[in-house]
Structure 1
């Protein structure tokens, strides 16, 4: 074991890591089936006008699991799921788990090149998809179109009862892979994180108890299915007797999310801080608990949303089964408590962290240990900054088909049992004297923008494939407080004069929306420091001012939109023919624009911002906002259970953007 500094007692952090709880060893099918036996007729899944009870969910998933087994899928096989967001996605994920295989969610709205690359790296046993989407898969990909009549006929003859161990090709154990989630990769390609069943029961037990979830509650599943927060939502709902309420794809703007909460009677939600800022203030009478994850939670948001309900902050990389630490926050706790060790100077490993007024990220969850270590992997004293390492039941197996990267990030743990490992997060943190952890930044160039993990190397690798690019770099800039954005910088190839818009289009054809820089700046040469390295601080800020158009905006909606464009984008001038995304807009800012338009008394759908972009075109889409209802609208009901969502599901296949698909 590594020695402790002579001035430091191990008592504090050893006690804070005492999270052990025995008996939490179960696979995902075992967890859900145990709850089904307790609450068979309770609503399990709500999506739009569809509701499935626990009994019905099993009766839909079990035949599909048996069909997958008949096709040769079993433990350690990978089954990709490329389906539109719906209740059927939950059925498919559960069916794959029941078969013993691991599911791999694929975002069907990602560029075709990206989907092809992911499927090539995964080499799935089968892809579960639809007849309409199957032709878009790479040639030779094995697939099962769930809505095809032939598939329906095969499913109809399968037994709908829960599977016994003998029904699978091999016994399913907690150490087997449960799912593979892809995250941004520093090598230029996304990393597939292989997560086993081993930590699922611990996470479920922790969050169900911590958040106070019980039978009859409603857990709003805001995250996309290829973001690991969706796994936490599923466990909290389907292991407690609550209903998993799936956000429709077109439910993007703050007032739409608010309507979803009101109409479904949601009691619990895990939501990124950025989306919480767009949620209109209201009583939300059923909403008892808000948890935030994915980015820094500010004290201002705690002050706004914690009164009258319980509020939590959670932190955890995909490599640690969703959440590794969590804490309850309140306005009184948003600031550092008395006795907290004051901030220290930067260690030289990375940037100084956020202001001390921001809430902590918490303590380790059940069966998890966390360590704050120096460069030699020695624990640092309480109050000092170091790199955060995670160990315990939820630790992922590693990266799919990347043993070198796995060995680099998953290290032997000197503080645990023989053979134990720990994950090097790359995040800086420090222990407070009350046993809470504070997030302090990064040790490398990885950034979080709007809750997404972004490796600039992946963006740079895609940008470098453009024939007119000689050198490139991607950085996160925060030229306005709280407005962090990804910017690409390009040095052209000899004799070339690439257009920034063309470079962004090149990236958009290869990367998901959240990895496409909001601006690309073409410069003659990169600024260098005295030692010859890139001087990131000297890179010029992108010029995002609108063009001096030939005409002023027309009075009324067009003038309003130009004004709000400029306000939301932080630019000095916007003309009616300037494109929102060419001025640095992104899908979160589109949601913020829709919220500002509503405050001004009008309605604007975020999806229209994506498709029309210009104030001149959007002005005709504005409609007056309805007056607030004096009484809440009655919830829709049917035989399956109360509180069904009555929002219509529109076809928005042309919509792109991570908040439609990632969260």
Structure 2
């Protein structure tokens, strides 16, 4: 409990750090203005061509009018089921122009999850690149050659409270939940980002899936500023490599996990026009920040942006300083314009330095969860200290004396792994439905310097030995790759506290090598790969038949392994090779085969007494 004087100081000084920005135009109106003023300027560059502002606007208009003809109205939902591509960007603009809200669905998402999202969102139309789709929902093809053009911009009666998009995040019930973000929420965030993250028309590379709200910044800022959006091909690592070699890029938005990939980046970077690096999605350590600043140079401003999906991408902003930031993690700073942050304990304000739940109010707070009124009422409550709704984030934080905020982790069991927000209950729910498993506990632990998901499984029959490879393969059909446990262990029973709750501290340390028969390396190449696996995974000894992914590896660590292999052997393998050949013995064959193909033998010259 704080005094009235301290309470007033917290409510004023600690929430009065930014000038408010007027939202005079919507994101769509700002894009349309550039399309009118600079119709021939390139706005989207993709692998096989470029699209100009006028062309994109006309194609988006044609799509919008077609959606309207199908009866789409404001607050209706249109699913966009396509990977990153020029058509996808046009699809989003077309949906927004029609008055509807878009629901991004990554095609790589497991079928069961896609079906849940479609059933829950109940879209009127699905936009896709596919010519055929197994669904009763009407769908439209978005192939560039199929998209017509129309000059007239639709004039829909859009309200700021109408929904702009619905993004599905991990849910405690075992099913993902849809966060409904309004037009006003989106325009508020973009008004701030446009003023603070760039000086003028910007150019960037879209790095993340559109079903992850980190993408909103990179997607919209170029479109509303008169800049350019570069769409690079390949996986995340390949897109990152391409971005760091494109001297047109002026800003990038990445997760700390992306930045960790750069620690083994052997080729250097060549982005002389990069002004701003925005980091978000998970905890940003000062060690990673220092290495990143050193790599890019002091002239690049590094923003640490904090914000749950429920508060529209980012509600806190902080600029990293190597001189000022000496703790373990970079601070999350203070609220952006038109946002208010509160540290509460049982709805009472906490004093400076006292940890409590971070609660968020202001123009960025979303409408709530789609089709979940009870959960919405629980998490979005009336603001006892001002107007509107207050979102209870479940994050632990505290005010610092300098008026900035320090993030202290999660209060509940929700965690962030490699930039993705994950409810561990969802993974537990899927595992409990596996045959032969009677109980399960899923926790996030530090393993080898990296936060990993660890699953502890209790078999139905104590005499039974669970097949972890078979279980993990089945999970791949039900969960995205980032939600797969890095470690799975069979134990006899879950340890409990005296009051009957799971005693997570008493769980055994994950041991990926338990029960594995060690087979030592036989060749120099196999020794190089096993050494690299041991260093990256933080376990030893690794045998030549041990699978990288069964030992706790994931896509980002796979990239680090490929970079290390290139550094040690001079051979650059595609990242996909470690997925198809995950053991040292299999990878060594790939390396040796690649090495043999490095040169073509020159035919021996015929024998002569003399040569010219």
Contact 2:87–2:142 at 8 Å: present in 1 too?
no
Contact 1:41–1:53 at 8 Å: present in 2 too?
yes
* Distance (Å, rounded) in 2 between the aligned partners of 1:291 and 1:122: 30
* Distance (Å, rounded) in 1 between the aligned partners of 2:242 and 2:120: 40
Tell me, yes or no, if structure 1 residue 322 matches structure 2 residue 313: yes
Q: How many residues align?
A: 585
CA-atom RMSD in angstroms: 2.4
What is the SS of the residue equivalent to 1:583? coil
**Match among 537, 561, 565 for residue 569 of structure 1:** 537
Q: Which runs of 5+ in 2 are unaligned?
A: 599-612
Tell me, yes or no, if structure 1 residue 484 matches structure 2 residue 458: no
Structure-2-length-normalised TM-score: 0.90
| Pair 262,213 (structure 1): closer, same or farther in 2 beyond 3 Å | farther
| Pair 259,233 (structure 1): closer, same or farther in 2 beyond 3 Å | closer
Contact 1:228–1:318 at 8 Å: present in 2 too?
yes
Contact 2:526–2:544 at 8 Å: present in 1 too?
yes
Q: How does 1:448-527 map to 2 (within 5 A)?
A: 448-480=416-448, 482-494=449-461, 496-527=464-495
Report what 2:153 is aligned to.
162
* Partner deviation per Cα, 1:180-207 (whole Å, 9 max, x = no partner): 0010001100010000011222222211
Report what 2:32 is aligned to.
33
| Pair 525,25 (structure 1): closer, same or farther in 2 beyond 3 Å | farther
Report what 1:415 is aligned to.
385
**Match among 368, 372, 375 for residue 339 of structure 2:** 368
Report what 2:44 is aligned to.
45
Shift of 1:146: 2.6
Q: Which segment drifts farther, 39-48 or 359-368?
A: 39-48
What is the SS of the residue equivalent to 2:299? coil
Shift of 1:616: 2.0
| Pair 7,494 (structure 1): closer, same or farther in 2 beyond 3 Å | farther
Shift of 1:78: 0.5
Structure-1-length-normalised TM-score: 0.84
Report what 1:292 is aligned to.
279
* Distance (Å, rounded) in 2 between the aligned partners of 1:327 and 1:525: 45
Q: Which runs of 5+ in 1 are unaligned?
A: 166-170, 336-355, 628-663
* Distance (Å, rounded) in 2 between the aligned partners of 1:309 and 1:551: 47
| Pair 35,147 (structure 1): closer, same or farther in 2 beyond 3 Å | closer
Contact 2:21–2:192 at 8 Å: present in 1 too?
no
Shift of 1:286: 2.3
Contact 1:200–1:235 at 8 Å: present in 2 too?
no
Shift of 1:357: 4.0
* Distance (Å, rounded) in 1 between the aligned partners of 2:174 and 2:53: 42
**Match among 290, 306, 309 for residue 300 of structure 2:** 309
Report what 1:533 is aligned to.
501
Shift of 1:4: 5.1
* Distance (Å, rounded) in 1 between the aligned partners of 2:473 and 2:433: 13
Report what 2:94 is aligned to.
95
* Distance (Å, rounded) in 2 between the aligned partners of 1:204 and 1:131: 31
Q: Which segment drifts farther, 396-405 or 243-252?
A: 243-252
| Pair 213,259 (structure 1): closer, same or farther in 2 beyond 3 Å | same
Contact 1:325–1:365 at 8 Å: present in 2 too?
yes
Report what 1:142 is aligned to.
138
**More RCO (CA 8 Å, sep 6+):** 1
* Distance (Å, rounded) in 2 between the aligned partners of 1:581 and 1:129: 32
What is the SS of the residue equivalent to 2:323? helix
**Match among 574, 580, 600 for residue 605 of structure 1:** 574
Contact 1:546–1:578 at 8 Å: present in 2 too?
no
Report what 2:589 is aligned to.
620
**Match among 14, 17, 20 for residue 15 of structure 2:** 17
Q: How does 1:119-134 map to 2 (within 5 A)?
A: 119-131=118-130, 134=132
Tell me, yes or no, if structure 1 residue 186 matches structure 2 residue 177: no
| Pair 494,553 (structure 1): closer, same or farther in 2 beyond 3 Å | closer
* Distance (Å, rounded) in 1 between the aligned partners of 2:334 and 2:519: 57
| Deviant stretches of 4+, over 6 Å | none
Structure 1 or 2, whichever has the larger Rg, is 2
| Pair 188,442 (structure 1): closer, same or farther in 2 beyond 3 Å | same
* Distance (Å, rounded) in 2 between the aligned partners of 1:35 and 1:413: 38
* Distance (Å, rounded) in 2 between the aligned partners of 1:516 and 1:109: 14
* Partner deviation per Cα, 1:242-292 (whole Å, 9 max, x = no partner): 212234232415xx6233332352110011111112123435322221111
What is the SS of the residue equivalent to 2:6? coil
